[in-house]
Amino acid sequence: MSAGQERVAPLPPLGGLGFARWAWRQLTSMKTALILLFLLAIASIPGSILPQQGNDPLKVKEWIAGSPSVGRLLQSLGFFDVFAAPWFAAVYLLLFISLIGCVIPRARQHWRAMLAPPPSAPRNLDRLGGTVTLDVNVAPAEVLAGAAEYLRRHRWRVVSGPAVTTDGAQWVSAEKGYLRETGNLVFHVALLLILASVAVGGLFGWKGNVIVKEGGGFANTVTQYDAWGGGRFVDSDSLTPFSFSLDSFDVDFEREGSQRGAPKYFEAKVTYRDDPAAPQQESVIEVNAPLEVDRAKVFLVGHGYAPHFVVKDARGTVVFNDAVVFLPQDGNFTSTGVVKIPDSEPQLGLRGLFLPTALIDKIKGGQSVFPGPDNPAVFLSAWTGDLGLDTGMPQSVYRLDSESMTQIGLGTLRPGQIWDWQEGSGSVMFTGFDRWASFQIAYDPGKEGALISSALAITGLMLSLFVRRRRIWVKVLDPAGATTVVQVAGLTRSSSLDDIDLGALTDDIDALVREISRAEATPKEHL
């Protein structure tokens, strides 16, 4: 996509084919490519300002709820999912079509140029400017042979002129830097390959999130995920059958300084197996160190607390005994969650606030002041009645639908404490807490391709920017003369008129001139 000249499109000739040709020429013109590049940049901007469905669906909901009319309009136009929007796709697809339309003819042209010998010397080298003329005491054939040998040694493609031309001159013509255009083409093709790799990842890859408590396990089936999404060609019934369990989760927080409360490290110790028949293996998953199982990768993306409760009913039978995942609400892990006990009579529900380092303020109420469990406490509100689980409507495990329930009390508990909510009608004990970790598990078959294509793109880019395409001619003006008059001249073929090209060419010419002059200083064999 970097044709040297602007193509001036003629007026569209009549007829469908003529118009198609005209449209194609317009689309593949450099100016169109430029405009499409700008459009691509501008089209990306809303994706960085508005919340995006793919990154933060909750924020999108909030945004639309905040200003419904504008929100719905923006949503229908795809502004909350810019990078999947048809208009965004239109821009990059047009850009890629324009790219293909430019790369193909240029590749053909480059192929021909690679096969063709360097062009013969122009009649008048003086016209090129920067020409060096020197008078040497060496036979013309020797000068030209020496120059050709020197140029070949420096990896120029060299052609020698005819023994006798119309003006009697003999010449050597050389060209170098074909890799510039090769690099340019490789770069643009690599961009297409990156796009293809992204598409492969999108169609054949999948990604899911799951929360696992300490001591808990996970097997790779869609039903075990909290959220899962896969490409069109993924068979969600036959995911790779690996499994793992979270043996323990360790975390430590900064206690001093301005970054107090920031995590110092966290790591999840897991035991896993590639498939149910495979032997167990142990591993530690950290933030920058995912676990790779059967081409899928397990990433540690979050963590939190799971307070453990033992609930008894009026008769003293244990109706609930488990750790419950509470979701952190702030940097100090003030966490909320609910306990649902459908097996008690009547049904019971608990709403809870877990504070790892509780500070109880008379006015603000309870809050956590440090993410580590220095002084854990839970605030509970207990509800009795119908949990609404039998309606058939799916319910979130993190929300208690208290519409048909009545509150029976509020309690504050430290580890080991018991709260009897109504004399003899039941109790809850806060026995302590486990930790949980959330994992993102992803399989992307396109990523290796994307990586290789990117490496190819960078290589091609560097060749296309740093290699200088240039020609040099050495010409003996009057082979029959008393001394040999040699002219050396050159041309750069870069389209950006960069003076570094000219600098490189000047250096080449100077080096060649030195080489020719040196030949004169050495004793001659035939005079």
Among 10, 105, 119, 129, binds other proteins (CB under 8 A): 129
Q: How much helix, strand and coil, in percent to the nearest 5, is found in the chain?
A: 35, 35, 35
Least distance to other proteins from the beta carbon of 289, Å?
8
Q: How far is the CB of 6 from other proteins (least distance, A)?
A: 4
d(CA 213, CA 85): 37
Q: Which is nearer to other proteins, 297 or 312 (CB)?
A: 297
Binding-site size for other proteins (CB under 8 A) equals 79
Beta carbon of residue 374, minimum distance to other proteins (angstroms, whole number)? 19
Q: Which of 249, 299, 379, 436 is close enough to bind other proteins by CB under 8 A?
A: 299
Binding mask 300-339 for other proteins (x = CB under 8 A): -x--------------------------------------
Of 12, 22, 57, 83, the one binding other proteins by CB under 8 A: 83
Of residues 445 through 484, those in contact with other proteins by CB under 8 A are 447, 450-451, 454-455, 457-458, 461-462, 465-466
Q: Which stretch binds other proteins (CB under 8 A): 104-112, 224-232, 286-294, 395-403?
A: 286-294
Amino acid sitting at position 274 = D
Distance CA 185, CA 126 (A): 34
Instruction: Look at residues 396, 403, 411, 294 and name the one whose alpha carbon lies nearest to residue 353.
Output: 411
Q: In this complex, which beta carbon is closest to other proteins, that of residue 430 or of residue 439?
A: 439
Decide if residue 223 touches other proteins (CB under 8 A): no
Q: Which is nearer to other proteins, 212 or 413 (CB)?
A: 212
The reply on whether position 442 binds other proteins by CB under 8 A is yes
Edge-first strand listing for the sheet containing 243-253: 217-219, 243-253, 263-273, 281-286
For other proteins, the binding residue among 287, 389, 410, 511 (CB under 8 A) is: 287
Q: Please, which contacts does 111-115 make with residues 24 or more away whose CB atoms are closer than 8 Å?
A: 113/178, 113/181, 114/178
Query: What is the chain's Cα-based Rg?
Result: 37
CB of 276 to other proteins, least distance (A): 24
Bridge partners of 354, per DSSP, are: 335, 378
Q: How far is the CB of 233 from other proteins (least distance, A)?
A: 18
The interface region with other proteins, picked from 155-163, 220-228, 369-377, 444-452 by CB under 8 A, is: 444-452
What is d(CA 303, CA 289) in angstroms, rounded to the nearest whole number? 16
Looking up tokens 């048909």 gives 404
Answer yes or no whether residue 491 interacts with other proteins by CB under 8 A: yes
- ∠ CA 153-155-157, nearest 5°, is 110
Cβ nearer to other proteins, comparing 129 with 365:
129
Check binding of 2 to other proteins (CB under 8 A).
yes
How far, in Å, CA of 2 to CA of 33, rounded?
9
d(CA 87, CA 27): 17
For other proteins, which residue of 9, 27, 30, 141 counts as binding (CB under 8 A)? 30
Of 4-12, 233-241, 338-346, 393-401, the segment contacting other proteins by CB under 8 A is: 4-12
Q: How many CB atoms lie within 10 A of CB 469?
A: 18
Of 153-161, 280-288, 358-366, 402-410: span binding other proteins (CB under 8 A): 280-288
Pick out residues in 355-414 that bind other proteins (CB under 8 A).
none
Choice between 90 and 287, CB closer to other proteins: 287
x/- mask, other proteins, residues 245-264, rule CB under 8 A, reads ---------x--xxx--xxx
User: What is d(CA 33, CA 293) in angstroms, rounded to the nearest whole number?
Assistant: 43
What Cα–Cα distance (Å) separates residue 14 from each residue in 18, 22, 124, 437? Answer: 6, 10, 45, 67
Question: Does 20 contact other proteins by CB under 8 A?
Answer: no
The span from the CA of 414 to the CA of 318, in Å, is 20
Q: Nearest CA to 297 among 448, 429, 107?
A: 448
Q: Is 459 helix (H, G, I), strand (E, B) or coil?
A: helix
State the nearest-atom distance from the C-beta of 462 to other proteins, in Å. Answer: 5
Listed ranges 60-68, 319-327, 366-374, 496-504: which one lies at the site for other proteins (CB under 8 A):
496-504
Which member of 28, 160, 335, 494 binds other proteins (CB under 8 A)? 494
* Binds other proteins by CB under 8 A, chosen from 174, 325, 355, 505: 505
Which residues from 36-65 bind other proteins, rule CB under 8 A? 37-38, 40-41, 44-45, 47-49, 52, 54-56, 59
| C-alpha span between 223 and 240 (Å, rounded) | 14
Helices 86-115 and 30-49: crossing angle in degrees, nearest 10, is 140
CB contact at 8 A, 299 and 442: yes
Binding residue for other proteins (CB under 8 A) from 147, 189, 210, 441?
Answer: 441
Q: Using CB under 8 A, which residues numbered 171 to 210 contact other proteins?
A: 198, 207
For the CB of residue 45, give the shortest distance to other proteins in the complex, in Å: 7
**Could you give the 3-state DSSP secondary structure of residue 518?**
helix
Beta bridge partners of 292: 297
134's enclosing H/E stretch is strand 132-136
288 binds other proteins (CB under 8 A): yes
Give the largest CA-CA distance in the chain.
Answer: 127
